[in-house]
Amino acid sequence: MSRVERAYQGAGCPRCFSPIPGSVLQQGRVYCGTCALEFTAAAFEPALPRRAPSVPERTSDAAQCARHAHNAAVAACERCGAFMCGLCRVEVEGKALCAACFDRVRADGSLESTRTTFRSWRTLGLHLAILGAMMTPAGILIGPASLFATVRGISQSRKDGDEGGAAGAVLAILLGLFVTAVGIFFLFTMMRVLDAVPAAKAVRRVR
Amino acid sequence: MARKLLGTLSNLTVRKRVYLAPDAVEIDEIDGYTGTRRRVLLDEVLLVTLDRRRRWLNVFIWIGIGAMFSMPSMIMALSARAPGGASGAAFAVTAIIGAPFILVALAHLLVGTDYVTVFGKRTVAQMAFSLRKGRARSTFALVRERVQQAQERARTAAADGSAQPETGDPLRRLS
């Protein structure tokens, strides 16, 4: 956990993160008395959180929620089919799920919008390319691995809809291609040297 | 869902990439090869700030790199055994090699680093712009504008009562 999150106590100074009263932040130009930083501030007052949806009580002929017997069902879960009331209904990625199913699909990572961890393929690609540049004889192995990781990183970025920040990927691809080329060159040179050695011995033997 | 890269913030162990998504500022925190994604929802933003600081680490790193590359010629120039002409040439080489790094260190010292910070209710997004004052200002303005729009929409929705459950046949999905 970084220093920023550990110390986070709400709106305040952007350097020391000590809280500053809202009336001071509204002034626009703020001076932090704790760390002596002067900064420009744009303070906002978010709208109050939405009220929980009112749940219609069940009448005698209406279907009941599977978990709340007193509440009328408003929909059926699109995964398990259980009736659910307004409290249980979770709308995610265009589907209406019950709370239990939402927990399950979130846990197994099948809902893209609820995933919070991922593998950074672009970082791996760039690091492999740099490693390959330092160990050029192994470039024939490290170069393609770097290219694979970078291409996978680019497709990951496209999937996320990222715009900008392509310089690292371009650098990784160029470096990966260079490392692969040097690796191939090194391999062929070694093969030629190894081929040449018995021939030289044979020449000496003839003489 | 497109998201635009706003800026980054890095230290020796963690790199953060901050994106502007349609409804949130997203922070991809990359520690090693594992990333963690957090969001500061635009309609929950409390404060957006812009400030300028000096990152002394950057200054020392650039001076260090400059010293490292110009060290061999510097040693040669200061060597007692070097003849007069060679010593002068070595000094010139030292200056040529070291000057760009020293200039960058000076730029860091004079211009500093601009930070844009977005405070949400539960988390915070911060990005640093070294030597790019204009980019920092435009990012600050963009985030401020998007937050204003999002919060205006949220207020309108709350006033219209669109947060209320939908009317009509509640069991239409069951048929």
- ipTM of the prediction: 0.74
Where does chain A show beta strands of DSSP type E?
29-31, 38-43, 75-76, 83-84, 90-92, 95-97, 117-119, 162-163
pLDDT of residue B84: 63
pTM (global) more than 0.80: no
Chain A residue numbers with beta carbons less than 8 Å from the beta carbon of B148 are 44
Pairwise CB contact (< 8 Å): A86 & B165: yes
pLDDT of residue A118: 87
Residue of higher predicted confidence among B78 and A36: A36
Pairwise CB contact (< 8 Å): B3 & A162: yes
Average pLDDT of the segment spanning B63-82: 79
Chain A residue numbers with beta carbons less than 8 Å from the beta carbon of B170 are 56, 72-75
Chain A residue numbers with beta carbons less than 8 Å from the beta carbon of B43 are 46-47
pLDDT band, very low/low/confident/very high, at B172 (cuts 50, 70, 90): very low
> Nearest to residue B117, comparing CAs of B52, B30, B23?
B52
pLDDT beyond 60 at B173: no
pLDDT of residue B164: 47
pLDDT of residue A163: 82
CB of B25 within 8 A of CB of B118?
yes
pLDDT of residue B125: 93
Token representation of residue A203: 């020449």
pLDDT of residue A181: 93
Whether chain B has a CB inside 8 Å of the CB on A192: the answer is no
Phi, psi of B51 (to 5 degrees): -145, 165
Pick from B5, B46, B174: CB nearest A11: B46
Ranges of residues in chain A whose predicted pLDDT is under 50: 1
Domain ranges of chain B: 4-46+115-157, 56-111
CB of A96 within 8 A of CB of B18?
no
Over residues B4-61, the pLDDT tens digits come to: 999 999 887 889 999 999 889 999 999 989 999 999 999 899 999 999 998 888 889 9
Chain A residue numbers with beta carbons less than 8 Å from the beta carbon of B33 are 119-120, 123-124
Pairwise CB contact (< 8 Å): A46 & B44: yes
pLDDT of residue A55: 63
Residue of higher predicted confidence among A127 and B85: A127
Over residues A101-157, the pLDDT tens digits come to: 888 888 887 777 777 888 989 899 999 999 999 988 888 999 999 999 999 999 988
Pairwise CB contact (< 8 Å): A15 & B43: no
pLDDT of residue B136: 93
pLDDT beyond 60 at B163: no
Pairwise CB contact (< 8 Å): B46 & A15: no
